Amino acid sequence: MATFITIGYGDSAGYDQTDPAIRDEAHRHDDRLCQLGVVMGIAGTAVQVRNHDGAQVDVTNGPFLRSELPVAGFAIIEAETVAEAVELVSKSPCAVCRGVVEVWPLQTPM
């Protein structure tokens, strides 16, 4: 079994344009994933951490990453293949409500 990190991007404009029945089913899908053990959450406010050469920790408020849509949430998914991970996230709110979900294979599990 492989581990995948997913990043969901979306905004309220896209969410609000999506039929409420489709949104509700997407949230039920996420609830089912959580019941299967997927760890997911809504993105909070980011901070950037730097400690160049181990000399001094510098913390800056705000994300480093920039995108068209704001980061909406994250999940950690276990799946046999990237195709299976894609199938699992393809029904999530970010994917169906005019957003996007990135699927990143975790190369070196901790």
Residues 89 and 77: beta-carbon distance below 8 Å: yes
The stretch 79-86 carries a mean pLDDT of: 96
Residue 36 DSSP class? T
Q: How far apart are CA 49 and CA 58, in angstroms?
A: 6
User: What pTM was estimated for this model as a whole?
Assistant: 0.88
108 pLDDT higher than 90: no
Q: What band does 65 get if pLDDT is binned at 50, 70 and 90?
A: confident
Counting residues of the chain whose pLDDT is more than 70, the rounded percentage is 98
Per-residue pLDDT band for 92 (boundaries 50, 70, 90) equals: very high
Rounded to the nearest 10°, the torsion over CA 1, 109, 3, 107 is -100
Confidence of residue 110 (pLDDT cuts 50, 70, 90): low
Integer Cα distance of 65 and 73 in angstroms? 14
